[in-house]
Amino acid sequence: MTVKIFDTPDVQDFLKTIAGFDQAGGNERAKQIMHRLLSDLFKLIDDFDVTPEEYWSAVSLLNALGGQTQFGLLSPGLGFDHFLDMRQDAIDAEAKRTGGTPRTIEGPLYVAGAPEAEGFARMDDGQDPDGETMWLTGQVRDVDGTPVAGAKVEIWHANSRGGYSFFDPTQSEYNLRRTIVTDADGRYTARSIIPSGYGVPEGAPTDVVLKSLGRHGERPAHIHYFISAPGHQHLTTQINLAGDPYTWDDFAFATREELVVPANRIEDQGEIARRELDGPFAEVVFDIELARTDKPELQTRHARPRAKEDEQDASSQLAATARV
Protein backbone atom coordinates (compact mmCIF):
# COMPACT_ATOMS: atom_id res chain seq x y z
CA MET A 1 0.00 0.00 0.00
CA THR A 2 1.32 3.45 -0.84
CA VAL A 3 -1.44 5.69 0.50
CA LYS A 4 0.04 8.78 2.17
CA ILE A 5 -2.34 11.44 3.46
CA PHE A 6 -0.26 13.08 6.20
CA ASP A 7 0.80 16.12 4.18
CA THR A 8 -2.67 16.91 2.85
CA PRO A 9 -4.32 20.17 3.99
CA ASP A 10 -7.22 18.16 5.43
CA VAL A 11 -4.96 16.22 7.80
CA GLN A 12 -2.84 19.26 8.70
CA ASP A 13 -5.97 21.31 9.53
CA PHE A 14 -7.40 18.35 11.43
CA LEU A 15 -4.25 18.17 13.65
CA LYS A 16 -4.54 21.88 14.51
CA THR A 17 -8.18 21.41 15.48
CA ILE A 18 -7.45 18.34 17.64
CA ALA A 19 -4.67 20.24 19.45
CA GLY A 20 -7.08 23.08 20.29
CA PHE A 21 -5.21 25.74 18.30
CA ASP A 22 -8.50 27.47 17.55
CA GLN A 23 -9.59 27.49 21.20
CA ALA A 24 -8.96 30.36 23.61
CA GLY A 25 -8.73 28.20 26.73
CA GLY A 26 -6.33 25.46 27.76
CA ASN A 27 -2.56 25.46 28.13
CA GLU A 28 -0.32 26.73 25.34
CA ARG A 29 2.53 24.29 26.07
CA ALA A 30 0.12 21.35 26.24
CA LYS A 31 -1.31 22.37 22.84
CA GLN A 32 2.15 22.63 21.25
CA ILE A 33 3.35 19.31 22.66
CA MET A 34 0.14 17.45 21.81
CA HIS A 35 0.21 18.83 18.28
CA ARG A 36 3.77 17.61 17.79
CA LEU A 37 3.11 14.23 19.41
CA LEU A 38 -0.03 13.55 17.34
CA SER A 39 1.65 14.77 14.16
CA ASP A 40 4.57 12.37 14.72
CA LEU A 41 2.20 9.47 15.42
CA PHE A 42 -0.09 10.21 12.45
CA LYS A 43 2.94 10.36 10.19
CA LEU A 44 4.19 7.09 11.65
CA ILE A 45 0.84 5.43 10.91
CA ASP A 46 1.10 6.65 7.32
CA ASP A 47 4.77 5.67 6.89
CA PHE A 48 4.43 2.19 8.38
CA ASP A 49 0.94 1.52 6.99
CA VAL A 50 -0.23 0.71 10.51
CA THR A 51 -3.38 -1.42 10.25
CA PRO A 52 -6.49 -0.98 12.43
CA GLU A 53 -5.66 -4.34 14.04
CA GLU A 54 -2.18 -3.13 14.99
CA TYR A 55 -3.50 0.21 16.21
CA TRP A 56 -6.16 -1.33 18.48
CA SER A 57 -3.81 -3.95 19.88
CA ALA A 58 -1.47 -1.08 20.84
CA VAL A 59 -4.38 0.69 22.59
CA SER A 60 -5.12 -2.50 24.46
CA LEU A 61 -1.48 -2.85 25.53
CA LEU A 62 -1.46 0.75 26.79
CA ASN A 63 -4.61 0.00 28.81
CA ALA A 64 -2.92 -3.06 30.31
CA LEU A 65 0.22 -1.05 31.18
CA GLY A 66 -1.84 1.68 32.85
CA GLY A 67 -4.15 -0.79 34.59
CA GLN A 68 -1.14 -2.37 36.30
CA THR A 69 0.64 0.98 36.86
CA GLN A 70 3.54 -0.21 34.72
CA PHE A 71 4.43 2.94 32.81
CA GLY A 72 7.01 3.72 35.54
CA LEU A 73 8.55 0.27 34.92
CA LEU A 74 8.50 0.50 31.14
CA SER A 75 9.95 4.02 31.14
CA PRO A 76 13.53 2.95 32.10
CA GLY A 77 13.29 -0.05 29.77
CA LEU A 78 12.57 2.26 26.85
CA GLY A 79 15.50 4.46 27.86
CA PHE A 80 13.53 7.58 28.87
CA ASP A 81 15.07 7.69 32.38
CA HIS A 82 18.62 7.41 31.03
CA PHE A 83 17.87 9.95 28.29
CA LEU A 84 16.70 12.44 30.95
CA ASP A 85 19.98 11.77 32.84
CA MET A 86 21.98 12.41 29.64
CA ARG A 87 20.16 15.71 29.23
CA GLN A 88 20.77 16.66 32.88
CA ASP A 89 24.49 15.82 32.47
CA ALA A 90 24.63 18.09 29.43
CA ILE A 91 22.78 20.88 31.29
CA ASP A 92 25.29 20.58 34.18
CA ALA A 93 28.23 20.61 31.78
CA GLU A 94 26.92 23.73 30.06
CA ALA A 95 26.52 25.45 33.45
CA LYS A 96 30.10 24.35 34.35
CA ARG A 97 28.81 22.20 37.21
CA THR A 98 31.27 19.37 36.71
CA GLY A 99 32.87 16.81 38.99
CA GLY A 100 31.31 14.63 41.62
CA THR A 101 29.92 11.11 41.51
CA PRO A 102 27.81 10.55 38.39
CA ARG A 103 24.05 10.43 38.58
CA THR A 104 21.97 7.56 37.34
CA ILE A 105 18.28 6.74 37.27
CA GLU A 106 16.02 6.68 40.34
CA GLY A 107 13.83 3.84 39.09
CA PRO A 108 10.17 3.44 40.05
CA LEU A 109 10.54 1.72 43.45
CA TYR A 110 11.50 4.41 45.98
CA VAL A 111 9.30 4.83 49.05
CA ALA A 112 9.51 8.04 51.10
CA GLY A 113 9.71 8.16 54.88
CA ALA A 114 12.21 5.38 55.71
CA PRO A 115 13.60 5.35 59.27
CA GLU A 116 16.50 7.75 59.84
CA ALA A 117 19.69 7.02 61.79
CA GLU A 118 22.97 8.78 62.58
CA GLY A 119 26.11 7.21 61.10
CA PHE A 120 24.96 3.59 61.14
CA ALA A 121 21.79 1.62 60.43
CA ARG A 122 20.83 -1.99 60.07
CA MET A 123 18.62 -2.14 57.00
CA ASP A 124 17.39 -5.75 56.90
CA ASP A 125 14.84 -7.26 59.25
CA GLY A 126 16.76 -10.55 59.57
CA GLN A 127 13.92 -12.48 57.91
CA ASP A 128 15.59 -13.31 54.59
CA PRO A 129 17.03 -16.83 54.99
CA ASP A 130 19.13 -16.52 51.82
CA GLY A 131 20.45 -13.04 52.59
CA GLU A 132 24.25 -12.84 52.67
CA THR A 133 25.33 -10.23 55.19
CA MET A 134 26.47 -7.01 53.49
CA TRP A 135 28.56 -4.30 55.15
CA LEU A 136 27.96 -1.17 53.09
CA THR A 137 30.03 1.86 53.91
CA GLY A 138 31.58 4.99 52.47
CA GLN A 139 32.47 8.62 52.90
CA VAL A 140 30.65 11.62 51.47
CA ARG A 141 33.12 14.26 50.29
CA ASP A 142 33.13 17.62 48.60
CA VAL A 143 34.75 17.77 45.14
CA ASP A 144 37.88 19.16 46.86
CA GLY A 145 38.05 16.12 49.17
CA THR A 146 36.61 17.68 52.35
CA PRO A 147 34.36 15.23 54.22
CA VAL A 148 30.71 16.30 54.38
CA ALA A 149 29.32 15.72 57.88
CA GLY A 150 25.53 15.64 58.32
CA ALA A 151 24.81 14.62 54.71
CA LYS A 152 21.57 12.70 54.23
CA VAL A 153 22.20 9.32 52.55
CA GLU A 154 19.01 7.52 51.57
CA ILE A 155 19.55 3.92 50.53
CA TRP A 156 17.10 1.34 49.17
CA HIS A 157 17.59 -2.04 47.55
CA ALA A 158 15.99 -5.41 46.79
CA ASN A 159 16.14 -8.61 48.86
CA SER A 160 17.73 -11.95 47.86
CA ARG A 161 14.83 -12.59 45.46
CA GLY A 162 15.02 -9.20 43.78
CA GLY A 163 11.89 -7.86 45.53
CA TYR A 164 11.47 -4.41 47.10
CA SER A 165 9.55 -3.89 50.35
CA PHE A 166 6.20 -2.07 49.94
CA PHE A 167 5.89 -3.33 46.34
CA ASP A 168 6.54 -6.89 47.60
CA PRO A 169 3.88 -7.37 50.30
CA THR A 170 5.73 -10.34 51.86
CA GLN A 171 8.40 -7.98 53.29
CA SER A 172 8.15 -5.93 56.47
CA GLU A 173 7.57 -2.17 56.31
CA TYR A 174 10.67 -0.25 55.14
CA ASN A 175 12.75 -3.44 54.97
CA LEU A 176 16.01 -2.60 53.13
CA ARG A 177 15.18 1.15 53.14
CA ARG A 178 16.99 3.59 55.44
CA THR A 179 18.16 7.18 55.69
CA ILE A 180 21.62 7.52 57.27
CA VAL A 181 23.06 10.89 58.26
CA THR A 182 26.85 10.98 57.86
CA ASP A 183 29.01 11.27 61.00
CA ALA A 184 31.63 13.94 61.77
CA ASP A 185 34.00 12.31 59.23
CA GLY A 186 31.31 12.25 56.53
CA ARG A 187 30.95 8.48 56.85
CA TYR A 188 27.86 6.29 56.61
CA THR A 189 27.65 2.58 57.34
CA ALA A 190 24.85 0.08 56.84
CA ARG A 191 24.50 -3.53 57.77
CA SER A 192 22.21 -5.19 55.26
CA ILE A 193 22.03 -8.15 52.88
CA ILE A 194 23.43 -8.47 49.37
CA PRO A 195 20.58 -7.74 46.93
CA SER A 196 19.79 -9.91 43.94
CA GLY A 197 19.12 -8.54 40.51
CA TYR A 198 15.59 -7.45 39.67
CA GLY A 199 13.52 -8.79 36.82
CA VAL A 200 10.36 -7.38 35.21
CA PRO A 201 7.53 -9.77 36.12
CA GLU A 202 7.21 -12.53 33.50
CA GLY A 203 4.23 -12.02 31.19
CA ALA A 204 3.49 -8.51 32.52
CA PRO A 205 2.64 -5.83 29.90
CA THR A 206 6.17 -4.38 30.27
CA ASP A 207 7.58 -7.84 29.54
CA VAL A 208 5.33 -8.10 26.46
CA VAL A 209 6.77 -4.84 25.09
CA LEU A 210 10.39 -5.87 25.80
CA LYS A 211 9.90 -9.36 24.32
CA SER A 212 8.50 -7.80 21.13
CA LEU A 213 11.89 -6.08 20.83
CA GLY A 214 13.80 -9.31 21.50
CA ARG A 215 14.94 -7.85 24.84
CA HIS A 216 14.97 -9.10 28.43
CA GLY A 217 13.80 -7.21 31.53
CA GLU A 218 16.68 -7.99 33.89
CA ARG A 219 18.69 -5.62 36.04
CA PRO A 220 21.99 -6.46 37.77
CA ALA A 221 22.17 -6.46 41.59
CA HIS A 222 22.12 -2.77 42.50
CA ILE A 223 21.70 -0.36 45.41
CA HIS A 224 19.89 2.98 45.09
CA TYR A 225 21.01 6.25 46.67
CA PHE A 226 19.72 9.78 47.19
CA ILE A 227 22.42 11.99 48.74
CA SER A 228 21.87 15.56 49.86
CA ALA A 229 23.65 18.16 51.98
CA PRO A 230 23.25 21.94 52.29
CA GLY A 231 25.44 23.78 49.77
CA HIS A 232 25.70 20.71 47.53
CA GLN A 233 23.91 19.42 44.48
CA HIS A 234 21.41 16.66 45.26
CA LEU A 235 22.56 13.36 43.79
CA THR A 236 20.37 10.47 42.61
CA THR A 237 22.49 7.46 41.84
CA GLN A 238 22.95 3.68 42.19
CA ILE A 239 25.78 1.23 42.44
CA ASN A 240 25.85 -2.01 40.49
CA LEU A 241 27.63 -4.92 42.10
CA ALA A 242 30.52 -6.13 39.93
CA GLY A 243 30.40 -9.65 38.50
CA ASP A 244 26.63 -9.84 37.95
CA PRO A 245 25.79 -11.31 34.51
CA TYR A 246 23.65 -8.24 33.82
CA THR A 247 26.12 -5.57 35.03
CA TRP A 248 26.75 -4.51 31.43
CA ASP A 249 23.39 -5.66 30.08
CA ASP A 250 20.96 -3.73 32.28
CA PHE A 251 17.49 -3.42 30.74
CA ALA A 252 17.12 -0.04 32.50
CA PHE A 253 20.43 1.36 31.13
CA ALA A 254 21.55 2.57 34.59
CA THR A 255 25.09 1.11 34.67
CA ARG A 256 27.97 3.58 34.56
CA GLU A 257 31.60 2.58 34.80
CA GLU A 258 32.29 4.69 37.92
CA LEU A 259 29.30 3.06 39.66
CA VAL A 260 30.33 -0.60 39.35
CA VAL A 261 31.55 -1.65 42.79
CA PRO A 262 32.85 -5.03 43.99
CA ALA A 263 31.43 -6.91 46.97
CA ASN A 264 34.46 -8.34 48.76
CA ARG A 265 33.93 -11.49 50.79
CA ILE A 266 35.61 -11.20 54.20
CA GLU A 267 36.20 -14.24 56.40
CA ASP A 268 38.81 -12.82 58.80
CA GLN A 269 37.63 -13.43 62.38
CA GLY A 270 39.02 -10.09 63.59
CA GLU A 271 37.11 -8.15 60.92
CA ILE A 272 33.94 -10.11 61.71
CA ALA A 273 34.27 -9.45 65.45
CA ARG A 274 35.07 -5.76 64.92
CA ARG A 275 31.69 -5.35 63.21
CA GLU A 276 29.88 -7.53 65.76
CA LEU A 277 28.76 -9.92 63.02
CA ASP A 278 28.28 -13.65 63.47
CA GLY A 279 30.06 -14.90 60.36
CA PRO A 280 31.67 -14.05 57.01
CA PHE A 281 30.22 -11.10 55.14
CA ALA A 282 30.56 -9.12 51.91
CA GLU A 283 31.92 -5.60 52.15
CA VAL A 284 30.83 -2.94 49.67
CA VAL A 285 32.56 0.44 49.79
CA PHE A 286 31.03 3.40 47.99
CA ASP A 287 32.48 6.86 48.51
CA ILE A 288 30.44 9.75 47.16
CA GLU A 289 31.61 13.13 45.88
CA LEU A 290 29.06 15.94 45.83
CA ALA A 291 29.28 18.98 43.55
CA ARG A 292 28.81 22.37 45.23
CA THR A 293 25.91 24.69 44.48
CA ASP A 294 24.33 27.71 46.11
CA LYS A 295 21.07 27.20 44.22
CA PRO A 296 18.41 25.83 46.61
CA GLU A 297 16.48 24.19 43.73
CA LEU A 298 19.51 22.02 42.91
CA GLN A 299 19.90 20.88 46.52
CA THR A 300 16.75 18.77 46.59
CA ARG A 301 15.46 15.95 44.40
CA HIS A 302 13.21 16.91 41.54
CA ALA A 303 9.47 16.53 42.04
CA ARG A 304 7.92 13.27 40.89
CA PRO A 305 5.03 11.21 42.22
CA ARG A 306 6.62 8.79 44.72
CA ALA A 307 5.15 6.20 47.08
CA LYS A 308 4.24 7.75 50.45
CA GLU A 309 5.72 11.12 49.44
CA ASP A 310 2.39 12.56 48.33
CA GLU A 311 0.82 11.68 51.68
CA GLN A 312 3.64 13.49 53.45
CA ASP A 313 3.30 16.48 51.14
CA ALA A 314 -0.44 16.42 51.63
CA SER A 315 -0.12 16.27 55.42
CA SER A 316 2.50 19.05 55.53
CA GLN A 317 0.25 21.13 53.29
CA LEU A 318 -2.62 20.38 55.64
CA ALA A 319 -0.46 21.45 58.58
CA ALA A 320 0.47 24.65 56.71
CA THR A 321 -3.20 25.31 55.96
CA ALA A 322 -4.10 24.73 59.60
CA ARG A 323 -1.60 27.39 60.66
CA VAL A 324 -3.15 30.05 58.41
219 binds ligand DHB (CB under 6 A): yes
Min dist. Cβ of residue 254 to ligand DHB (A): 7
Cβ(26)–Cβ(36) below 8 Å: no
Q: Nearest Cα to 107, choosing from 228, 220, 5?
A: 220
Q: Rule CB under 6 A: which of 38-57 touch ligand DHB? A: none
**252 part of the interface to ligand DHB, by CB under 6 A:** yes
Choose among ligand DHB, Fe ion, none what residue 205 binds, the Cβ cut-off being 5 to 8 Å by kind: none
With CB cut-offs between 5 and 8 Å by kind, which of Fe ion, ligand DHB, none does residue 252 bind? ligand DHB
| Sequence-separated (6 or more) residues with CB below 8 Å from residue 187 | 119, 137, 138, 139, 140, 147
Residue span binding ligand DHB (CB under 6 A) among the ranges 88-96, 101-109, 119-127, 176-184: 101-109
CA distance 181 to 194: 21
- What is the C-alpha R_g of the chain? 23
Question: What H or E segment, with its residue span, contains residue 54?
Answer: helix 52-67
Q: Which is nearer to ligand DHB, 20 or 72 (CB)?
A: 72
- The least CB distance from residue 31 to ligand DHB, in Å, is 31
- Residue from 136, 148, 200, 235 that binds ligand DHB (CB under 6 A)? 200
Which residues are CB-contacts of 268 (< 8 A; sequence separation ≥ 6)?
none
Closest approach of ligand DHB to the CB of residue 288, in Å: 18
Could you give the CA distance from residue 114 to residue 110 in angstroms, rounded to a whole number?
Answer: 10
**Interface residue list for ligand DHB (CB under 6 A):** 73, 76-77, 107-109, 198, 200, 219, 252
